[in-house]
């Protein structure tokens, strides 16, 4: 069916004055303020009046260049380049250098935890954390997460056991966790998906009742809080990813944070091959070290983090307002009484929406809006898990349903309010059953 008439109430983009603060996109190599990756040229937007204006139906795309989910937030160029220059002058590039140590101290202080053990990426951080906790046998995790959560276990021949999620929160459902416990279960890895906290208290109660170790994959949760306390101090340890696509990045990077002195010491050894001083290996280990240049990026981005949050929050509110008038689409809410990083703009497509989720993504891609289907199809539907547990989906109905319904939209400092309204206008036409 083809849509008729102009889409109303969406403020279809035309690049006009929207009354909102404009970001210029000027590169701040002089270090004036926060770096914008690349501003989208407002003049390239088209007005969408009907299905005929959609690129998927043959019209030119709304955006001349791809708009990515996960465009990096990059802090002040000048300060970063100064740090990079200092590193080159110092001749110290890695192996627990002074910048990495400063980074660890700053992160620990920011999060209010005793230890930050910086790593080369979030996946290695997960592997080291689970190993340091001596997890083995079976460990309960959500399937609705990035594959690294499960792979970090499987890589060590620990069996990830997938528990279902609460469809309202997209996080582990404690009752489902409880149902998956067996005599082989040694731990639970909760994920704070989209930066919204897992049901920490309930998982703590289950872990304590069944003598299980509890840790969190907080890859999405840097700068987010639960009951006013920043994520990082819950469970026995929490793992962050500082990948380029994350709200806060160190190019590649990650960290395990913990209040447990013994655990922190063990993880420091493990990330450096188990070396304790020259020529003395006292533990099996790997190479999980964070490079100095990554830590320099982290220190720089930490200084500009408030700007990143403000931009993301503004984008999120623009999306929420623009999509509120589209029947059948809802933007996942963040609890405004908590701290959030608003890094993920997650839209759920109702079953009655006239266009499938996959078709929505195709239509957006045709407009150069590279929306993503995170975390479809769920880990249990990917290898090797799909072959290991072909019937896992039977106990994961909410995971399957949510994974079929979610579209993640682009945000970040490169995106302007009128671009967001343009994206919403595409969705508005699709709501008319336009393709
Ligand atoms: N646990 C959870 C819950 C996670 O979400 C992740 C990572 C991990 C653990 C593991 O942490 P790390 O080991 O990665 O530190 C991306 C990221 O690569 C991955 O780090 C992240 N989760 C996941 C949610 O997203 P892909 O497969 O979507 O990446 P890719 O290459 O398609 O990039 C995503 C978008 O970002 C693209 O549209 C391009 C854009 N992009 C990407 C990069 C790297 C840029 O604009 N600039 C860039 O530099 O996984």
Q: pLDDT (tens digit, 9 = 90+) per residue, 59-99?
A: 999 999 999 998 899 999 999 999 999 999 999 999 999 99
Bridge partners for 165 per DSSP: 172
Kindly report the three-state secondary structure assignment for every residue of 357-414: HHHHHHHHHHCCEECECCCCCCHHHCCCHHHHCCCHHHHCHHHHHHHHHEEEECCCCC
Tell me the per-residue pLDDT of 288-314, one tens digit each, with 9 for 90 and over.
999 999 999 999 999 999 999 999 999
At residue 3, the pLDDT reads 36
Q: Is residue 15 pLDDT above 80, yes or no?
A: no
Low-confidence winner among 365-369, 390-394, 414-418 (lowest mean pLDDT): 414-418
What's the average model confidence in pLDDT over 135-156?
98
At residue 5, the pLDDT reads 35
CA-CA-CA-CA torsion sign (112, 75, 125, 99): negative
Of the pLDDT bands very low, low, confident and very high (cuts 50, 70, 90), residue 273 is very high
Low-confidence winner among 19-33, 182-196, 348-362, 371-385 (lowest mean pLDDT): 19-33
pTM for the whole thing? 0.92
* Residue to mutate (ligand 1; options 128, 146, 286; most atoms within 8 A of CB): 146
Instruction: Tell me the longest C-alpha to C-alpha distance in the chain.
Output: 75
Distance (Å) from CA 8 to ligand 1 centroid: 35
Ligand 1 atom with the smallest distance to the CA of 66 is: 38
What's the average model confidence in pLDDT over 246-260?
98
Kind of pairing, strands 229-230 and 254-258? Answer: unpaired
CA 150 – CA 379 distance, rounded (Å): 7
Tell me the per-residue pLDDT of 345-364, one tens digit each, with 9 for 90 and over.
999 999 999 999 999 999 99
Of the pLDDT bands very low, low, confident and very high (cuts 50, 70, 90), residue 23 is very low
* Residue to mutate (ligand 1; options 241, 251, 343, 410; most atoms within 8 A of CB): 241
Kind of pairing, strands 329-331 and 345-349? Answer: antiparallel
At residue 412, the pLDDT reads 87
Question: Which residue owns the Cα nearest ligand 1 atom 45?
Answer: 71
Distance (Å) from CA 292 to ligand 1 centroid: 21
* CB of 245 sitting under 6 A from ligand 1: yes
CB 331 within 8 A of CB 347: yes
Tell me the per-residue pLDDT of 166-176, one tens digit each, with 9 for 90 and over.
999 999 999 99
């Amino acid at each position: 069916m083809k849509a008729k008439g102009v889409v109303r109430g969406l403020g279809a983009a035309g690049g006009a004055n929207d009354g909102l603060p404009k970001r210029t996109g000027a590169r701040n190599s002089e270090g004036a303020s926060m770096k914008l990756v690349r501003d989208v040229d407002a003049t390239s937007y088209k007005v969408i009046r009907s299905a005929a204006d959609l690129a998927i139906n043959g019209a030119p795309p709304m955006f001349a260049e791809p708009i990515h989910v996960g465009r990096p937030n990059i802090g002040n160029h000048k300060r970063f380049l100064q740090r990079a220059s200092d590193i080159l002058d110092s001749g110290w590039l890695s192996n627990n250098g002074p910048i990495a140590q400063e980074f660890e101290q700053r992160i620990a202080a920011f999060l209010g935890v005793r230890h930050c053990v910086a790593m080369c990426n979030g996946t290695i951080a997960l592997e080291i954390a689970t190993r340091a906790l001596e997890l083995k046998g079976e460990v309960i995790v959500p399937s609705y997460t990035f594959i690294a959560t499960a792979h970090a276990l499987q890589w060590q021949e620990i069996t990830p056991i997938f528990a279902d999620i609460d469809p309202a929160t997209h996080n582990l459902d404690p009752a489902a966790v409880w149902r998956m416990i067996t005599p082989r279960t040694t731990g639970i890895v909760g994920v704070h998906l989209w930066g919204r906290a897992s049901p920490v208290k309930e998982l703590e109660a289950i872990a304590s009742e069944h003598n299980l170790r509890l840790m969190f994959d907080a890859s999405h949760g840097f700068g987010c809080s639960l009951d006013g306390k920043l994520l990082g101090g819950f469970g026995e340890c929490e793992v962050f990813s500082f990948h380029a696509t994350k709200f806060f990045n160190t190019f590649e990077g990650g960290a395990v944070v913990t209040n447990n002195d013994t655990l922190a010491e063990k993880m420091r050894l493990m990330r450096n091959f188990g070396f304790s001083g020259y020529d003395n290996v006292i533990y099996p280990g790997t190479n999980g070290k964070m490079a100095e240049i990554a830590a320099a990026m982290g220190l720089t981005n930490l200084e500009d983090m408030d700007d990143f949050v403000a931009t993301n929050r503004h984008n999120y509110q623009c999306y929420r307002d623009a999509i509120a008038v589209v029947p059948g689409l809802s933007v996942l809410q963040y609890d405004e009484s908590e701290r959030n990083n608003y890094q993920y703009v997650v839209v759920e497509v109702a079953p009655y929406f006239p266009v499938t989720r996959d078709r929505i993504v195709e239509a957006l891609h045709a407009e150069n809006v590279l929306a993503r289907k995170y975390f479809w199809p769920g880990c249990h539907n990917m290898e090797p898990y799909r072959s290991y547990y072909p019937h896992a989906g039977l106990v994961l109905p909410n995971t399957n349903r949510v994974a079929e319904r979610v579209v993640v939209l682009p945000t970040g400092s490169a995106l302007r309010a009128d671009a967001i309204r343009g994206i919403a206008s595409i969705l508005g036409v699709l709501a008319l059953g336009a393709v």
